[in-house]
Structure 1
Amino acid sequence: MIDSTTHLPIPEDGPYTPESGALAYAAEHIPGALFADLLTDFADPSDPQPWTAADHQRFAAAAGALGIGDGATVVIYSQHDVFWATRLWWQLRLEGFDDAVVLDGGLPAWKNAGGELTDAVSTPTPRAFVGDRRPGLIRSTAQVAAALDDPGVLLVNVLDEPTYRGEVNTYARNGHIPGSINFPVAGLLDPETGTLRPVEELRVEFERAGLLDDGRTVVTYCGGGIAATGVAWALALAGRDDVGVYDGSLTAWTADPELPLVTGSSPR
C-alpha cells in the first residue's frame, strides 16, 4: 500500500507552491502503507517544473526502496485528490510495472467504509525494481509541437471548460493547444462520493469523444501533468492502455511564447 499524497494549495494571487504530503501521512494513514514523495524521490531534480517524471534509473531506485518490484502488488491512494494516486500509477506503468491499482475514492472512501488508521510508520522491505521504460506513454513539449498537424494524434485537454476556453488566468498565457478537445477530468468522478463513475458509463462518453478510436494516438494534458493521468487511468480501465501523457502540460507549453494557443470551444 502506497500513500502518494501531495498538496497543491491555490493562492488568490501568485503562483501555486506544491507541498509534500509527508506530514499528512505521518499523522494518519492506512496501516502498513508507505509514503511516496512525488515531489522529490520520484521527480527529476534538474527540472524547474515540480514533479516532472524522473528518469528510469532514479525512479527504479525510489520504487525499489519502497519494496516495489517483481512479486509485489501495489495499491496506491491519496488522502484527498485521487489524481495524485493516478500520477504514481502512470509513472509505474511508464517504467514497465503493471501490477499496480488505484484505491478508488482514496483515504476518504477508506474512512467511510470504517477502515482502520494509524500513525505508525512502516519499514519497507526493499526489492529490485526491474522494468523497461515505455516511451509511448510520455510526451515532451517538442513531441507535442511536432504532432500539431498530425491527424493521427488526438490531444485531449482534461481541465475544466472555462480554463480550456481561455477564460481563466492560471498559466503564463491562456487557452488550449490548437486542435485539442476538452474532456474534463472532474467528470470522471461521482461528485458525492469522489469515486470513479461506472466504467460502462464512462466508456460511452469516451467513445462519443473519439477516445477509444484505435486509429488515433491519444495524448492527454492538463496544467502540470497530474490530472492528465486521471483520464489515462480511466481509459485503461475502459480497455485502452496506450494513452500518452504530456508531462509538462500547459505549465511548460505556455512558458514558451513561440508556441501557439487558441481560445474558445472544443472542436469536437
Structure 2
Amino acid sequence: MSQPTPLITTGQLAAMLGDPNLRLYDCTTYNEPVPPGSDVPYRAVPGDKTFAAGHIPGADFLDLQGEFSDTSARPLYMMPDVAQLEAAFGRHGLDASKTIVLYSIGSMMWSTRFWWMLRALGVDARVLDGGLDKWKEEGRPVETGAPKGYPATTFKATPRAGFFVDKDTVKARIGDPSTAIVNALLPQYHQGLEPSRYGRSGRVPGSVNVPAPTLVNADKTLTSLADAEAKFAAQGVTRDKNVIVYCGGGISATIDLLLLTQLGYDKLTLYDGSMGEWARDPSLPIETD
C-alpha cells in the first residue's frame, strides 16, 4: 500500500492561505559555478533575494546551507546533528502539530531535501508540486519583501533511523543482491562520459540510473506514479530491495526518494555525501562505461 501523498497541489495550497495552522516555507538555494580547481563543486547561494522579489503570501524562508547543514563537512549540504536542526527549525516556528508546506524555485529538489530531512526527524511535511514556478504561472498571488517569519517554537525531534547512510555502508552494499543503489544524476555523468565537477568521473559500482530530471514534467511538477514506477522497474528497483539513492550532493536524489515513497517503497535511504564525497576519495571504487 502506498503512503499518503507528501505532495500538495497549488489549488490545495491556495485554499489554505491565511490558515493559522499553516507553516509555509520557501527552501530555494542556487548552486553557482566556481573556478576550475576549486575545493568545492559549486558555491551554495541562498535564495533570499528571489524570496524578497516574490514569494507565496505568508511564507518564511529557510537557508539550507546556512542554517540546516553541517558547514564543517567538505561535501555541501550534509545533514547536521539533531540539536542544530531542532534549534534552527524552532527559530522558524516549525511545529509538527501544524500543516507544514515546503516549496522552492526552479526545481523541487530543494523542498524535497527539506521534506526528507524532516521525515528523518519524525515530522511529515508536504511539498508543493511544481513549486513557485507553477504557482506564478497560474497567476496566483505573490508578495514581496523580507520574511516576516512565524513565532518561535521549541522543536523536539523524534528521529527515525535509517534515512541517511555513509560511504562505508554504501561500499559494504556494493554487489549485495538485496540492495539497489540508484544514481539520480544524468546519464552522461552516471556513465562517466563527461567530466564531473565532483571529482573522478563515473558512478558507485553496480549502481543503476534513474535521473531525477526524467521524473519531472515541463511545468516543474513531478511525473505520474505510473511513469515513475516504470522507470524504477526498468532498472530493477523493486519493493523487496533495500534502496540507496545518491546524486551529486544529496539534493536531487530526494526527488527519487519522494516518488519511491509515494509508490509504497519503505526500505529507502539517502547516501548523504553522494558523489561530492565518493568521487574525491581515491580509496573508494568507481565505475564507468
How would you bin the TM-score normalised by the shorter chain?
A: over 0.9
Letter in 2 for 1:63: F
- Higher relative CO (Cα under 8 Å, sequence separation at least 6) belongs to 2
Q: Does 1:229 pair with 2:254?
A: yes
Aligned twin of 1:203 = 229
Which of 270, 274, 284 is matched with 1:249 structurally? 274
Structure 2 CA distance for partners of 1:11 and 1:46, relative to 1, 3 Å: closer
The 3-state SS of whatever aligns with 2:43 is: coil
The 3-state SS of whatever aligns with 2:168 is: helix
Which of 81, 89, 93 is matched with 1:67 structurally? 93
Q: Across the two proteins, how many residue pairs are aligned to each other? A: 261
Which of 58, 66, 85 is matched with 2:111 structurally? 85
Aligned twin of 1:176 = 203
Tell me, in whole angstroms, the C-alpha distance in 2 between the residues paired with 1:184 and 1:12: 26
Aligned twin of 1:220 = 245
1:22 CA displacement: 1.5
1:201 CA displacement: 2.5
Could you tell which deviates more after superposition, 18-27 or 152-161?
18-27
Contact 1:232 1:241 in 2 (8 A): no
Contact 1:166 1:176 in 2 (8 A): yes
1:135 CA displacement: 2.8
Aligned twin of 2:13 = none
Please provide the CA RMSD for this pair.
1.6
The 3-state SS of whatever aligns with 1:18 is: strand
Which of 121, 142, 145 is matched with 1:117 structurally? 142
Tell me, in whole angstroms, the C-alpha distance in 1 between the residues paired with 2:183 and 2:209: 5
TM-score by length of 2: 0.86
1:12 CA displacement: 8.0
Tell me, in whole angstroms, the C-alpha distance in 2 between the residues paired with 1:194 and 1:243: 24
Deviations 1:13-45 (A, max 9, x none): 454212111122122111110011100110112
Contact 1:29 1:119 in 2 (8 A): yes
Q: Which runs of 5+ in 1 are unaligned?
A: none
Q: Does 1:23 pair with 2:64?
A: no
Which of 107, 130, 140 is matched with 1:105 structurally? 130
Which of 27, 46, 50 is matched with 1:4 structurally? 27
Aligned twin of 2:12 = none
Letter in 1 for 2:120: L
Tell me, in whole angstroms, the C-alpha distance in 1 between the residues paired with 2:226 and 2:153: 37
Letter in 2 for 1:160: L
TM-score by length of 1: 0.92
Which of 147, 156, 161 is matched with 2:187 structurally? 161
Aligned twin of 1:39 = 65
The 3-state SS of whatever aligns with 1:135 is: coil
Letter in 1 for 2:88: A
Letter in 2 for 1:221: Y
Tell me the percent identity: 36
Contact 1:188 1:197 in 2 (8 A): yes
Could you tell which deviates more after superposition, 233-242 or 178-187?
233-242
1:179 CA displacement: 0.9
Task: Name segments (4+ residues, structure 1) moved above 6 Å.
Answer: none
The 3-state SS of whatever aligns with 2:65 is: coil
Q: Which runs of 5+ in 2 are unaligned?
A: 1-23
